[in-house]
């Protein structure tokens, strides 16, 4: 994780900006995916598993699949709505 020690040519110039930027992008994408997963789990569990039984039923599982698809779609709708209300 230390960008200075991960350089192969010990400390003279360090990793290039491109390498650092890639690392930052990857870490941001990872953090975003984890947070999104957590939200999906919370929202779809609340919607689809209203009375937890001894296992997930077929209808609960298919509700969860639809819920995940709809939540992703909702994110796109909201995103477009926000962008359309921004200047420029």
Residues binding other proteins (CB under 8 A): 4, 11-14, 16-17, 20-21, 24-25, 28, 32, 35-36, 39, 43-44, 47-48, 63, 66-67, 69-71, 73-75, 77-82, 85
Size (the chain), residues: 88
Q: Are 48 and 62 in contact (CB under 8 A)?
A: no
Least separation in angstroms between residue 11's CB and other proteins is 6
Of 39 and 54, which has the nearer Cβ to other proteins? Answer: 39
Burial grade of 49 (CB within 10 A; 0-12, 13-18, 19 or more): middle
Least separation in angstroms between residue 1's CB and other proteins is 15
CA distances in angstroms from 27 to 5, 12, 36, listed in the order given: 18, 25, 14
Backbone angles phi, psi at 17, to 5 degrees: -55, -35
Of 1 and 82, which has the nearer Cβ to other proteins? Answer: 82
Least separation in angstroms between residue 22's CB and other proteins is 11
């Amino acid at each position: 994780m230390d960008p200075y020690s991960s350089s192969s040519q010990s400390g003279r110039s360090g990793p290039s900006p491109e390498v650092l930027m890639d690392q930052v992008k990857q870490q941001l994408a990872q953090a975003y995916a984890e947070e999104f997963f957590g939200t999906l789990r919370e929202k779809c569990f609340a919607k689809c598993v209203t009375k937890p039984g001894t296992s997930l039923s077929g209808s609960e599982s298919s509700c969860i699949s639809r819920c995940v698809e709809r939540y992703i779609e909702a994110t796109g709708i909201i995103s477009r709505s926000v962008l359309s209300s921004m200047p420029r």
